[in-house]
Amino acid sequence: MDSHIVDIVMQPVGRTPGVLEPPLAKYKPQIVVLFTSLQEYADTTIKNIEHTWRKHTTRLPSVIVKIVETPWTSDTVDRYMTAFDEAVEEVGRHPLTQNSTLNWHVGTAGGTNLMAIGSALSAFTHKFPVYGSLDQAYNPMLSTAELAIEINLFSNLGPGYKALTKPRSMRIMRYICSNGPVGTPDIIKYIEGTKQNESAGRKPLVDACLIVKNNSGLWMATNLGRSLMAMMAFEEE
């Protein structure tokens, strides 16, 4: 029996709950996780979900609330990430998610700046896609759903990690990070292989947007590539 798809929106919110409306309209989630500093902010947001924004969903989503108190202190990001991990586990135990394919959507607009940082880092750690919510006042021509914009860098996290699990691709990536920009002949010489070997090892890196050619036709690491290598404790050779 095929599993059904469950969409989950993970959204930081503060006084103004409106940042949740665009992803609600775009993803129509079955589960919404709210990260906020006060229960009253969550209550206001839930009222909007149940009434003002009801038109965006076929049925009311299940709402999980995670309270992150005083989200302006030096340990806010760490506490937010802990709450995020707890929420992921809670969603995993939710009746709606059993035997289902989960589509995660993580918001970075809403709440304090430190909450946004915690949300982005949490998404990076879990390899979840990330979106931002635009302000309708500055984008009057866009529909509500179009105000939720997906951030491509995060969308490539999963493929990026998968590419780096291939030994030859990882070896090429390390070489480019240490010596780039480099040409294809340099890579072939480094791996002591054939052009076919080099191409087979480099292609996963290109497909995952970990490396690109610069204006001179040389290979260099992208921001995503450098970030993933840093997360994997890369050391220059």
Whether residue 232 has pLDDT greater than 90: no
Q: Residue 233: which pLDDT band, with cuts at 50, 70 and 90?
A: low
Assess contact for 40 and 65: CB atoms under 8 A.
no
Average pLDDT over residues 155-165: 84
* DSSP for residue 138: G
Give the CA radius of gyration of the chain: 21
Report the CATH architecture of 4-155. 3-Layer(aba) Sandwich (3.40)
Whether residue 234 has pLDDT greater than 70: no
Strand pairing category for 31-36 and 4-12 = parallel
Assess contact for 204 and 176: CB atoms under 8 A.
no
Distances (CA, A) of 226 to 64, 79, 162, 174, 229: 34, 26, 15, 10, 5
The helix (run of H) or strand (run of E) holding residue 221 is strand 219-221
Give the pLDDT score at 156. 78
Assess contact for 211 and 225: CB atoms under 8 A.
yes
Instruction: Indicate the CATH number for domain 160-231.
Output: 1.10.10.10
Angle formed by the axes of helices 184-191 and 195-207, nearest 10°: 110
Closest-CA residue to 15 (of 136, 116, 110, 114)? 110
The pTM of the full predicted model, rounded to 2 decimals, is 0.78
Q: Residue 176: which pLDDT band, with cuts at 50, 70 and 90?
A: very high
Q: Residue 102: which pLDDT band, with cuts at 50, 70 and 90?
A: very high
CA gap 110, 7 in Å, rounded: 20
Average pLDDT over residues 207-235: 87
Domain boundaries, given as residue ranges, for the chain: 4-155, 160-231
Q: Of all residues in the chain, what percent carry a pLDDT higher than 90?
A: 77
Whether residue 1 has pLDDT greater than 90: no
Calculate ∠ Cα 85-75-125, nearest 5°.
Answer: 35
Whether residue 237 has pLDDT greater than 50: no
Give pLDDT tens digits for 103-124: 999 999 899 999 999 999 899 8
Q: What residues contact 176, with CB distance under 8 A and at least 6 apart? A: 182, 187, 205, 211, 219, 220, 221, 225
Q: Of all residues in the chain, what percent carry a pLDDT higher than 70?
A: 97
